[in-house]
Chains A and B, each alone.
Chain A
């Protein structure tokens, strides 16, 4: 579950960064920008059927928090 999520996360933002883990504060990544944010939101919709609005997404900080959001809103 976690490994798959990390892979999808990296694919969505076109990153090959091996340091990305569930604890990564993704907003601090060099590759993070507004396109990356939209890409993650789109990936959550496509892969997990989760529609999250920009303001809610803004509050999430780590990959774990995103995954928690997914399980809470499934």
Chain B
């Protein structure tokens, strides 16, 4: 055997990652580059996005500034992209409000970013035949789809919808041999979790059976599996990566 055994290699694959300017999406891009993928990284903040680009291993990566909620620009944006073997939808936002303070605008903002825009990006990629046969689509959902926490109604609903959406397209795209799966992370400290105060975090960590929060890399490893050919027979599934918190 002259080539090293690695069923999780992403060599020869081009992968698009949204939300790559921060947190989990950033880590996914970096870890995928270490697995030899070529990356197209997307985010709104060009400074942080370029930081991600500079941390990628290997050559031939691209950083593209784009707000996925700019629906009218999605078509032309997607047309600029190369053919892909994988997409990771990691762009996402959170807003914690009790129901009596939730307006339609608040709800739409969360649903647009976490669900509808990801659906439109996927739709355009498919329409423009950017997803090669054998492609893998990964959604970064959350354990919040099934487990309640105070004030988290809009986020929970958006992630539940993402889970169902992924199953829907897994079924619809199966005949094109395109897979779709979901990762449900537990708590990982990123910019997103700044909505939770330090004291709450201190208390919450104690509830984790494995005794700590996760790291962004630990979510990225699940994404690598789902993007690699090791998961060629896995579609419509949900992988929980949560330090055991949902055992409770």
Show the binding face of A for B, using Cβ within 8 Å. Answer: 33-35, 38-39, 42-43, 45-46, 53-55, 57-58
Q: Contact flags (1/0) for B85-122 with A, using CB distance below 8 Å?
A: 00000000000111011000000000000000000000
Can you show 21 pairs from A to B with CB atoms below 8 A apart?
A33-B150, A34-B151, A34-B200, A35-B150, A38-B97, A38-B98, A38-B150, A38-B151, A39-B101, A42-B98, A42-B101, A45-B101, A46-B101, A53-B194, A53-B195, A54-B195, A54-B196, A55-B197, A55-B198, A57-B197, A58-B197
Report chain B residues within 8 Å CB of A43. 101
Nearest neighbor of A34 in chain B, beta-carbon distance: B150
By a CB distance below 8 angstroms, the chain A residues around B97 are 38, 42
Complexed CA–CA distance, A39 and B197 (Å) = 15
Quick one: which of A34, A46, A57 has the most chain B CB within 10 A? A34
Residues of B contacting A42 with CB < 8 Å?
Answer: 97-98, 101
Q: Residue B3 at the A interface, CB < 8 A? A: no
Is B98's CB under 8 angstroms from A39's CB? Answer: yes
CA distance A66 to B240 in the complex (A): 40
**Closest Cβ neighbor of B203 among chain A residues:** A34
Closest beta carbon of chain A to B35's beta carbon, Å: 37
Tell me, in angstroms, the Cα distance from A38 to B195 when the chains sit together: 10
Closest 6 A/B residue pairs (Cβ)? A54-B197, A42-B101, A38-B151, A34-B150, A55-B197, A35-B150
CA distance A64 to B100 in the complex (A): 24
> Is B248's beta carbon under 8 Å from chain A?
no
A54 to B197, CA, bound (A): 5
Q: B175 at the A/B interface (Cβ < 8 Å)?
A: no
Chain A residue numbers with a CB within 8 Å of B101 are: 39, 42-43, 45-46
- Are B151 and A35 in touch, CB under 8 angstroms? yes
Q: Which residues of A contact B198 (CB under 8 A)?
A: 55, 58
CA A58 to CA B98, docked complex, whole Å: 18
Minimum Cβ distance to chain B for residue A41 (Å): 8
- Given A34-B150, A38-B98, A46-B101, 14 more A-B residue pairs with CB atoms under 8 Å apart are A33-B150, A34-B200, A35-B150, A38-B96, A38-B97, A38-B151, A39-B98, A39-B101, A42-B97, A43-B101, A53-B194, A53-B195, A54-B195, A58-B197
